[in-house]
Amino acid sequence: MTQETAVKPIVQLTDRAAEELKLYLARQGKPGAALRIFVTAGGCSGLSYGMVVDDKLTDDDFVIDEQGAKVAVDRSSAPFIAGSTIDYKTEKLMGGGFVVSNPNAVSTCGCGESFKTA
């Protein structure tokens, strides 16, 4: 399913995240690929985010294209992260990375990589 057929995007990218994603995919030699964001059971809060570069999208994926940067979310992960914003943050000690701001999370762990929903 593409963004055009969805009522609203499953996730949104900030301008910075879109630019960083395009740069990252170009460095990987996969400028046409997407960043796949998924949710798995695990982590100290119960659910964890995962992110991988994926150039094999399916009809069951929600694909969001913002400024030429693509994000894919599978149907089983979508309810857990619907309405989330993906940003790119740079930390002095930890480097940079994509960060999920999830309105469905009622609690998160200290590292921000796992969360719990209602």
The CATH number of residue 49's host domain is 2.60.300.12
The pair phi, psi for residue 82, each rounded to 5°, is -55, 130
- Report whether 61 contacts 72 (CB < 8 A): yes
Range of the domain at 81: 3-117
pLDDT at 40 exceeding the cut of 70: yes
Give the per-residue pLDDT at 1.
Answer: 47
pLDDT grade, residue 72 (50/70/90)?
Answer: very high
Residue 49 to residue 17: CA distance in whole angstroms = 16
pLDDT at 17 exceeding the cut of 80: yes
Residue 65, classed as helix, strand or coil, is strand
Residue 21, classed as helix, strand or coil, is helix
- Report whether 11 contacts 80 (CB < 8 A): no
pLDDT at 4 exceeding the cut of 60: no
pLDDT at 118 exceeding the cut of 80: no
Higher pLDDT, 44 or 14: 14
Give the per-residue pLDDT at 25.
Answer: 96
Of 25-34, 65-74, 91-100, the one with minimum mean pLDDT is: 91-100
pLDDT grade, residue 32 (50/70/90)?
Answer: very high
Give the per-residue pLDDT at 9.
Answer: 75
Place of tokens 């914003």: 85
Of 1-10, 18-27, 30-39, 48-57, the one with minimum mean pLDDT is: 1-10
Residue 101 to residue 103: CA distance in whole angstroms = 7
Q: Count structural domains, the chain.
A: 1
Give the per-residue pLDDT at 93.
Answer: 64
Edge to edge, what strands does the sheet with 11-13 contain? 11-13, 84-91, 95-101
DSSP state of 2: B
